[in-house]
Structure 1
């Protein structure tokens, strides 16, 4: 009888230890927006709308120069670099700070000279960013006008 019980336990052990332990991989959570915002964002295009209609679309890259860009860093520090086409495309850097309010999807860029740009994120992926200009140095676009910037990493 004792031999039968031992055999029973051994067969249960063998069958339970042979079960399939493979589990389906759980997809990782997408990066949070603040992490996605980190990095160098080239200024590609600006679009202006009046009463919902596109009135102007402008390529922001000067053909002779590199892209102007925002470089958003982990420490809340930002570089805002423009290339002066009238001065051999020399870069001009407006250093400052940046922050992101996730609940409102608002990016605030502040220069060391207290210039401020407030942007609302309308779409964000690993490589593409579209923002709406809310306020620049205290001024908002006129009523009925919307201005969007398109940026790429």
Structure 2
């Protein structure tokens, strides 16, 4: 792991969960962690309920767009967090993998997306604390 760890968030459509997670990590960690997100079958656009839910907390993810998952993105990341990408996530030695079982916000209104958003925020705060400790421990 370099001085600036990199985290890749992966879900199927890269339109909801992974975009919210990337938004939180960028917002809360600033430039201390490199943030990426991708999907195994990217949607055409970001989930509008996810955009609205994040905007309620002052985080704008509306300019983001779903990106295709590539082996290079995985291989060059220190931590890969999957959120239901099925069997499409490539595995490389030396990369730390985590699976966050979170409901898919696709097709849900903002009321249903808020609890998913809040769970992601809690996990991101824990992740930042963990990655901060591992960088300062070196």
TM-score grouping bracket, smaller chain normalisation = under 0.3
After TM superposition, the score normalised by the length of structure 2 is 0.26
Q: Considering fraction of residues, name the structure with more helix.
A: 2
Q: Considering fraction of residues, name the structure with more strand.
A: 1
Q: Which structure is richer in relative contact order (CA contacts within 8 A, separation 6 or more)?
A: 2
Kindly name which structure, 1 or 2, has the bigger radius of gyration based on alpha carbons. 1
After TM superposition, the score normalised by the length of structure 1 is 0.25
